């Protein structure tokens, strides 16, 4: 698997995480507003259910946030590895040493070598 394929795979994982975190934040806000409303009304069952739902959403936010930071770090390492190689994956076969070599057998002795 090439570096570009690995980067593409990591970006496929990154997209749902980036979309899930704001959705979880909004869901947590709505559940906590419902919790406060139920607590104000004195509904004990709704208060317990919404408190548990809020805790679950908070744990999911922590998990998604941790995964997001981990995936971003992994993506950064892959991109650094690709940049250190100095070549993009599609450039690997473009310049081969035998393609740029000067064929001296066809040159006359007085003719200066041409630059490639």
How far from the centroid of its chain's Cα atoms is residue 46's Cα? 39
Whole-number pLDDT of residue 10: 85
For the CA atoms of 48, 52, 57, 58, the dihedral, rounded to the nearest 10 degrees, stands at 100
- Domain boundaries of the chain, sorted by first residue: 3-84
Question: Rounded CA gap, 26 and 60, in Å?
Answer: 13
Give 92 or 20, the one with higher predicted confidence.
20
The model's pTM is 0.66
């Amino acid at each position: 698997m090439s570096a570009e394929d690995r980067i593409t795979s990591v970006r496929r994982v990154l997209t749902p995480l980036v979309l899930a975190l704001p959705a979880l934040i909004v869901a947590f806000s709505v559940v906590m507003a419902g919790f406060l409303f139920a607590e104000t009304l004195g509904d004990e069952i709704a208060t317990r259910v919404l408190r548990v739902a809020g805790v679950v959403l908070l744990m999911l936010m922590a998990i998604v946030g941790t995964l997001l930071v981990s995936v971003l770090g992994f993506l950064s390492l892959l991109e650094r590895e690709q940049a250190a190689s100095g070549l993009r994956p599609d450039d690997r076969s473009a310049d081969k040493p035998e393609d740029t070599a000067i064929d001296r057998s066809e040159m006359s002795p007085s003719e200066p070598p041409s630059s490639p």
